[in-house]
Amino acid sequence: MKLIACCGKCFKDIKVTPIKRDRAELEEVLGNTFYLRCEKCGEKSKTHIDEVKAEHSVTNYVKMLTFLILPTILMKILSSYGVISTVPFILCSGFMGAYYFDANSKIKEFNSFRVGKK
């Protein structure tokens, strides 16, 4: 999961750190409104905590891809021993599904909760 906010000038995504499980925790660290510097245009813009949104990070996709590549390699090894098995595929797609579901619910949880203006 990654946290991003939109730049008010060039509308590019700005990464928000630290990554917290929910908005209330993030507010404790950053405050209700805070300043973010855009990596693209250098503009420092005032951001409200509710403007931050959670998204899938690249590592999420890399992990999911690993769950796809891993059984393919296992299949190759197994078939070289003359064993044809779909078990690695079933297991890994199960893991991938569970991982994706978990990551998705974390993102939804973060995005659904709003702190509101103070």
Residues of the shown chain interacting with Zn ion in the complex, contacts defined by CB under 5 A: 7, 9-10, 38, 40-41, 43
Which C-beta is closer to Zn ion: that of 10 or that of 69?
10
Integer CA distances (angstroms), 82 to 12, 74, 79, 89, 90, in order: 52, 12, 5, 17, 19
CB of 37 to Zn ion, least distance (A): 9
Q: Can you read off the two tokens belonging to residue 71?
A: 């059984």
Which C-beta is closer to Zn ion: that of 9 or that of 108?
9
Do the Cβ atoms of 43 and 9 come closer than 8 Å? yes
Which C-beta is closer to Zn ion: that of 16 or that of 92?
16
CB of 11 to Zn ion, least distance (A): 7
Which C-beta is closer to Zn ion: that of 10 or that of 65?
10
Listed in sequence order, the residues at least 6 apart from 110 whose beta carbon sits closer than 8 Å to its beta carbon are: 1, 3, 21, 22, 23, 53, 54
CB of 17 to Zn ion, least distance (A): 17
Residue among 61, 65, 34, 66 at smallest CA distance from 47? 34
